Amino acid sequence: MILEILPQAGDKWRDTCPTLPTMELGKPLKISDLIRELRQQLDLSQEKFAAKLGVSLRTVNRWENGSTVPSPMALKLIEEMLEKMGEVGKRLVNEYLPKPEQREDS
């Protein structure tokens, strides 16, 4: 069972952050965790990862420490990177960016 964490009123990132799934144990999966794991899987420093995405080192650092989230455009680039990684990328996409389930009654 996957629960969605929806942004709350007053959250600065509510308009740009996708809903974040939680694992069954209730620990939220964060975009910051995805970015860190992706970067480490690619064996890239924050600086080199930032260069690949066309953003600053400071931006990647802020993503990883959770103080900001990637823009929709940056998320698209990150998703494209994941798709090019084969099975490891698919696992990360399924873990951190699952597609919302279609409900039969809607």
State which of 13-22, 42-51, 92-101 shows the largest mean pLDDT: 42-51
pLDDT (tens digit per residue) in 49-103: 999 999 999 999 999 999 999 999 998 899 889 888 889 888 888 887 766 664 5
Q: Does 69 reside within a domain?
A: yes
pTM score of the predicted model: 0.64
Nearest Cα neighbor of 22 from 46, 2, 45 is: 2
What is d(CA 57, CA 63) in angstroms, rounded to the nearest whole number?
10
Parent domain of 75: 30-96
Q: What is the domain-level CATH number for residue 77?
A: 1.10.260.40
Q: Does 15 reside within a domain?
A: no
What is d(CA 35, CA 25) in angstroms, rounded to the nearest whole number?
21
Q: Report CA torsion sign: 52, 73, 21, 92.
A: negative
Written as one string, the DSSP assignment of 51-70 is HHHT--HHHHHHHHTTSS--
Q: Does 52 reside within a domain?
A: yes
Determine the pLDDT at residue 92.
86
Structural domains of the chain, count: 1
